[in-house]
Amino acid sequence: MPTAPTSAFAYIDLFAGIGGFAAALESFGGTGVYSVEIDEAAAAVYERNWGHSPLGDITKVANDEVMAVPAHDILAAGFPCQPFSKSGAQRGMDETRGTLFFNIMKIIEAHHPTVVILENVRNLAGPRHRHEWEVIIDLLRAEGYRVSEAPAVFSPHLLPLERGGRPQVRERVFITATYDPDHILDHDDVPVPVKHLSERGDEEWDLTQDLPLATEVDDPRYALSADEIKWIDAWDDFVQRIWEAEREKHGDAAKLPGFPIWFDEWADLDTLKIDVGVPAWKANFLRKNAELYTRHKDILDAWGTRHRVHEFPPSRRKLEWQAQGAASLWDCALQLRPSGIRAKRMTHLPALVAITQTPILGPLRRRLTPQEAAGLQGLPAKFDFGTQRDAQTYKQLGNGVSVGAVWHVLKAHVERDAAILETTEAGRTILKAVRDDAPKTPDEVLPIALARGQQRYADRNAETRLL
Ligand SMILES: C[S@@+](CC[C@H](N)C(=O)[O-])C[C@H]1O[C@@H](n2cnc3c(N)ncnc32)[C@H](O)[C@@H]1O
């Protein structure tokens, strides 16, 4: 049985949430010397699992006047994405004033941690945030960091299970940087080589086995309501009937419609009117819905009447079938979204999000449980959410970072910058912990690191009771 090393390097965890970064960094053998999180519920879960409370506001502890954050070797931050001001003539730090990135930079200026790892939504590297991206890279470089301009975009479904991957498509951008004021390596752009490592390919995941899903969950909190069953049954009947009709015409080449199906917009092609000004994508969907309806008018009229579809709430009168090859809606992972019922194959799930759209597992006829959702983020079964409401747990997980993705990205980063890290004691410690001693997957060591964190929490509570 492998053991997680103790106290290799010191790390800080900013915008700590419930500790996705802590999970990876503790498993590498790091010690959390500081963490900060403004949300009380998330901070309480963090404390239960990692043994210290991050509760606080970064703007109060790291600013122009105050620096309450101690020195450390690795700085980790999954920070909220905010636009920088473009108004001032001066570029640089001033533009970030008033944003939370400003506070991160204050800590970097004060301590120059050896390695910085930042995580954000993929959009931060997209065209709308080009300015923010450039300012972040420029500021890190101005502080002496080796950092690539090329975004390292990664998702846990791109890693094999044996390397800490999970069946969740969650693309996030990572910015990783190494302090190298003497330019030991040249600072030309060398992207961090985060590549697709899964040999199985995206579609080869199997949620049921790979997560794995629990087979016996008999808890009314995860059961489907009578209405939900009615909606899914109705749309499953739609799938069956269209499938049959298309197969009669096209045989094995038959396909179900891949465009969004909008019951409210079904109209005869002859009478279809598309208003001027309707965007092209929408006009295209309206035309396709009319074609579908015209082709199968009798079947679809009878279907609508039989299930009284006109009485469903508007968002349940729409289907997004993204599960080519599945035979039934009940074979799919389903999401009841404002834009309709979305059906996908049971290979991998879309990103958990902070808003409540807990996926429904068709074959199991229930929702994903909080433990399974935690598993999708790479957190072990023993991760303790206390007695908080499930909605809080799903929200915190939706905000979190994938443990396997952090593991992989940090390993790739230290390998890229090994020559710099070799030159300092902190760097050598990080290299040993992250590159040399760590197993291929955090899953081998995370349960031990978590048990240690939970023990710290128990010990502190016992101490407080004695006082
Ligand atoms: C994207 S989440 C990071 C989640 C974390 N990486 C995890 O794995 O759970 C951003 C977090 O920043 C916190 N936050 C927002 N403003 C903050 C502030 N001023 N000080 C500290 N934390 C803040 C939010 O409450 C949220 O939990």
CA of 38 to the centre of ligand 1 (A): 7
Bridge partners of 176? 117
CA of 16 to the centre of ligand 1 (A): 6
Structure tokens belonging to residue 398? 């939706």
Give the DSSP per-residue string, 216-265. Answer: ----GGGBPPHHHHHHHHHHHHHHHHHHHHHHHHHGGG-----SPEEGGG
45-101: pLDDT as tens digits? 999 999 999 999 999 999 999 999 999 999 999 998 888 877 655 678 888 988 999
Domains of the chain: 10-201+397-466 (3.40.50.150), 220-368 (no CATH)
Nearest CA to ligand 1 atom 17: 38
Report whether 20 contacts 40 (CB < 8 A): no
pTM for the full predicted model = 0.92
CA of 296 to the centre of ligand 1 (A): 50
- Hey, which of 11, 37, 60 would you mutate to test ligand 1's pocket, going by the most ligand atoms within 8 Å of its Cβ? 37
Spot the catalytic one: 81, 214, 299, 353. 81
Per run of 10 residues, the mean pLDDT along the chain (length 467 residues) is 63 98 97 98 98 97 97 96 73 87 98 98 90 94 95 90 92 96 84 66 80 90 96 97 90 87 95 92 95 95 97 97 91 94 91 79 95 96 96 95 96 95 96 96 97 96 80
CA of 423 to the centre of ligand 1 (A): 33
- Distance between CA atoms of 205 and 367, rounded to whole angstroms? 19
Q: Which ligand 1 atom is the nearest neighbour of the CA of 58?
A: 20
Active site residue 332: no
Cα angle, residue 57 at apex, residues 130 and 71 outer, rounded to 5°: 85
Pocket of ligand 1 from Cβ distances under 6 Å: 15-21, 36-39, 42, 57-59, 78, 80, 100, 399-401
Q: How many residues does the chain have?
A: 467
Q: Which ligand 1 atom is the nearest neighbour of the CA of 18?
A: 9
- Hey, which of 13, 14, 38, 407 would you mutate to test ligand 1's pocket, going by the most ligand atoms within 8 Å of its Cβ? 38
